[in-house]
Amino acid sequence: MISPKTISENIRYWREQRNYKQAYVANQAGISRRWYVSLENGIVIPKINHILAIAEVLNIEPELLFKKEQKIGKSLEEGDVEEKVKQAIRKALEKLL
């Protein structure tokens, strides 16, 4: 099982790889900066819609946020974002069922 800490660390990792500020990611993802900071600090647990929005802002595949070890992942081409989001939702639902 993936821990919330892993997700938080991965979100921070990818944000820093992109040289984005926390406020920028939060704003672009449609969430408050305060909540986003709590997320990166492992205080709150994101819902799937948060994961998908943050992954889109970071231009990464959502499943990268669930990996225990990060490697340089592929950025998404603009046309691939929608398909990758659909795939991530299916995978998340399969794990829940």
* Average pLDDT, rounded, for the chain: 84
CATH 2.120.10.30 assigned to 4-96: no
Q: What is the pTM of this model?
A: 0.70
**pLDDT at 89 exceeding the cut of 80:** no
User: Any residues with CB less than 8 A from the CB of 8 and at least 6 apart, and which?
Assistant: 39, 40, 41, 42
**Residue ranges per structural domain of the chain:** 4-96
pLDDT tens digits, residue range 5-22?
889 999 999 999 999 999
H/E stretch holding 85: helix 81-96
The values of phi and psi at residue 60, to 5°, are: -130, 165
Q: What is the pLDDT of residue 96?
A: 65
